[in-house]
Structure formats: structure tokens, C-alpha cells
Amino acid sequence: MRARFLSFSPPAIFEEEIEAVADTLRSEWITTGPKVEEFERAFSAFVGARGGLALNSCTAGLHLALLTLGVGPGDEVITTPMTFCASVNVIEHVGARPVLVDVEPDTLNIDPSRVEKAITPRTKCLMPVHFSGQPCDMDPLLLLAGKHGLKVVEDAAHAVAASYRGRMVGTIGDLTAFSFYATKNLTTAEGGMLTGEPKLLEHARVLSLHGMSKDAWRRYGRGGSWFYEVIAPGFKYNMTDIQASIGLQQLRRLDGFQRRRREIAAAYSQEFSKHPYFQTPTERPDVVSSWHLYVLRLNRKTLRIGRDTFIEELAALNIGASVHFIPIHLHPYYRTKYAYGPDDFPVAFANYHRTISLPLHPKLTDSDVQDVIDAVLRVAGSNRA
């Protein structure tokens, strides 16, 4: 057993990030300014998007995306139950109704074959969520969007550096929101990015900072003017230069991060696929997953214990793990408001009870990876049915 606890997903921060933050703190500008602008350009170029808007969270990006595309009271937005609550909360925030559609058994992404049945005259938008970094099957969703005149907002919180049939996530739907939270493949501690057409982002940019016609850098910087106007009732969603300085360093090492994630995922799958206790994650041949998460599924008939006890026994062996996600329809707010039953989305519900997210981050050593494998096999072997 390991002597020290292995955290599930600590941030991969190095001296270059620390020094970049220090340089920004020594400068004359620490809030939204030149580093944010540089980060927006660099990230947009990385994914091949025509524009980017740096924000304080992916949640902010999703909220602004819906508002920018005109989603509001009386509208419906189709999305998945297999996601973090933020994806659905923002639909509520704009006054629309979230319409949940069950997921595919292999990827746990929204099932395109079920989506058309959920479309009504009130449907305004599709919001696919790229679960664990495996891109959704976007072409059927785009066909449905074109057929019914719908907008597409991608929740790419897990999908930095993922691609679908040769297209980078961030260039496929109308607008795409990314997360740079502490556990993500690229982090700015907290933060996010919205990518899409520059004309759409212009409106989102105004809404992201109080609805003001100019941000502080353009008011207080050299050649700036103090004058501004509030042209919409906006929000406080801007990213700071401190965050962007971390992001710029992370972006430079992202290719290396991704190589290491793929190596770890391959090592896990090679070992776990040999045993009847597990179902390993799917990566379809026409996509490149970001491998944000390694979600192992237990074959419950082969084990005497359930998922929760399995995680407890891993923790006793000093291996951290988590669960992604508690399906939306099980949370009290949504369960009560929309009268959901557990079996309303049977694929999501059944898989929720058998998923375990294992440690997966670039700082894992080969020894760490082997410790995870050994612990998982030990727990399974000692609890086989």
C-alpha cells in the first residue's frame, strides 16, 4: 500500500506559472488587460476558433452563450442528465426550461437518436456536453439543429484539446464554453473561455463586464478614455491578467500534458480490460478524447460490493477517486420542479451507480499509475462475487 495519499486530481502547476504570476503582480496591471487579450488570441489559435472571450468560469461562458443566442423565458434547451449542475443551472437562469435526453451506453454522451423526439416548437437550443473529454457525436446533432432551426452551444468543460472527425472542439457549434478550473487539463485556478464567431462574442463581451462599452484597460491604459456607457444589464464575468498569465504558460505545455494523459489512460485500459470486473472507457475511432477523466465502470454482478464501498476501500489504500456525475434528475431542485423519477433516464441512472473516476493528471509518475492499478485490482479481487 502507498505510504502517502494520492489525490484524485491536483493542478499541474510548475515554476514557470508561479513566475508568470509574479511578473504580472510586479506589473502595472493585474485585472483584465493585455495578458487576457494575449491568452484569448493564443487559445483561439490553438483550437482554430475565429474568436475567444476569456471569462471567470465555464459557467459564465454557458450563461453568456444562451443570452447571446437569444434563449430566454418560454424556450427549451435540450441537454443531458449526465453533467455537472452548472450546465443546467444556466438554462434556469435565463428563464428557459432544460429538457433532458438520456445518454449513449458506451460514451455516456447525449444520445442523438433520442434528441429529435424531445424537440418541440419551443426548443431553441441544443447543449451537448462532452462527458469526460470524449466528444459527442456532433454531426447528427448539427443536422437536427439545421433541420429545426436550432442553435448549438457546446459544454466543453472537459474537452480542451479534444477533436471530432478532424474538427477541434471549439469550432463546431455556434458557441463553445471551456473550463479552466483547478482540476481541468489546462487551468487558470478558476476561469473559462467562450469561442465562436467574433460578432457573437462582441455581444457576449459587453455582457461579461456590467454591460459596459469599454473595459478598465481601455479606459485607464495609455490612449484610453474615461468615458463609457452601459448598453445592457451585464454581469461580472471577466478574467484577470493574473489568471491569464497562468493560462498562457499552461497552453504552452498542453500538448505534453495531453500526451501524458493518453499514456496513463492507455496503461489503465490495458490492465483493467483483462478483468471481468470492469468496463473501460470508450474512445471512438473518429474522435480524439481529451482524457479529462478516466471513468471506470464496475460490472456489479462480478462484485460483492457497490461503487461507494469500492471508493472507500480505495481510500483506505491511499488512492483518491471521485464520481462523475450525480445525474441532474436526481438532485432535489430538478427532481421536485420537473417531477423526475430515477428511471426517467435509465442509462444515466444505471451507469451513475457503477462509475468511478480514477486519478488522471500529468504529474502522475509511472509508480503512481501502478499504485492505482494495483489498488483497484486488489479491491476488486478481494470482493469478487
Task: List, by residue number, the catalytic residues.
Answer: 184
Residue in the block written with cell 476561469: 191
Phi, psi of 210 (to 5 degrees): 65, 5
Cα–Cα distance, 339 to 297 (Å, whole number): 28
Query: Exposed, middle or buried: residue 185 (CB in 10 Å: 0-12, 13-18, 19+)?
Result: buried
Q: Which of 11, 293, 357, 358 minimizes the C-alpha distance to 158? A: 293
**Residue whose entry in the numeric block shows the C-alpha cell 496503461:** 267
Burial class (CB in 10 A: 0-12, 13-18, 19+), 227: exposed
State the DSSP code for 122. T
Confirm if 190 and 244 have CB atoms less than 8 A apart.
no
- DSSP of 229-248: -B-S---B-BPPHHHHHHHH
